[in-house]
Amino acid sequence: MFNHVNYVDLPELTTETIDKKRYYITPEGNKYPSITTVLSSRNKKGLFEWRKKVGEEVANYVARTAAARGTKVHQMCEDFLNNEEVSKDNFLASCLFGQLKPTLEKNINNIHFQECGLYSDKYKVAGRVDCIAEYKGKLSIIDFKTSSKERNDEWNENYYIQASAYAEMYEERTGIPISQIVILVVTEDGSVQEFIKQKEQKYIDTLVELRNQFN
């Protein structure tokens, strides 16, 4: 059984899509773009070249499959960490979750929030974090990712920027600092990758630069 701790209450955030971009609406009525929307500008050239290479039909299929796979595994992780029964109605997602489960059991406890909406008035961004909990005894931003194959660390910079942004948002909302970010990647070829980083100023600097460029 996982222990849950609630030191603070955080408001629910609603979302709105404007020009195919997701915005979160804060309790004060401000509309802030999602952190994933802001980060998407970093990948446009590479994504365009990939779609051109494989064709739109294949690209759309791969994108839909990856999104569905990720959504299913995220839900299973959330249910499991909430000490609830985990649905096994999707074979691939069940296999991926089965690979990831021992890592969750061994390393996660004292869960603060799951699938929690956060925002920053300072950086004018918002988002929904997968999990805020202790990982190996240290309070962390934890993000669950799925992949068809193992990832090299240098491919993960967007993940580190995103998780660092969540840490900044959480401290701004609660006064509780988080310095550790954890990215767990479960792959279709049978591996679980654990990337543990410290929140670094370079990630925040990149966030600020991208946010200033965002329209």
Per-residue pLDDT of 149-199, as tens digits, reads 899 998 899 999 999 999 999 999 999 999 999 999 999 888 999 999 999
- Which residue from 203, 181, 177, 207 is spatially nearest to 194, judged by alpha carbons? 181
Q: Looking at residues 103-121, what average pLDDT do you find?
A: 96
Return the percentage of the chain with pLDDT > 70, whole number. 87
- Sign of the Cα torsion 158, 176, 113, 212 reads negative
pLDDT reading at 64 higher than 80: no
Best CATH choice for the domain 14-213 from the list 3.30.420, 2.60.40, 3.90.320, 2.40.50 = 3.90.320
Give the Cα separation of 112 and 175 in Å (integer). 14
Give the Cα separation of 30 and 15 in Å (integer). 11
pTM for this prediction: 0.89
The per-residue pLDDT for 89 is 82
The per-residue pLDDT for 44 is 56
What stretches of the chain show up as alpha helix (H) in DSSP?
A: 35-39, 44-54, 56-81, 91-107, 157-174, 201-213
* Confidence bin at 59 (pLDDT 50/70/90): very low
104 near 77, Cβ under 8 Å? yes
Which two structure tokens, joined as six digits, stand for 14?
Answer: 């609603």
Domain parsing of the chain, residue ranges = 14-213
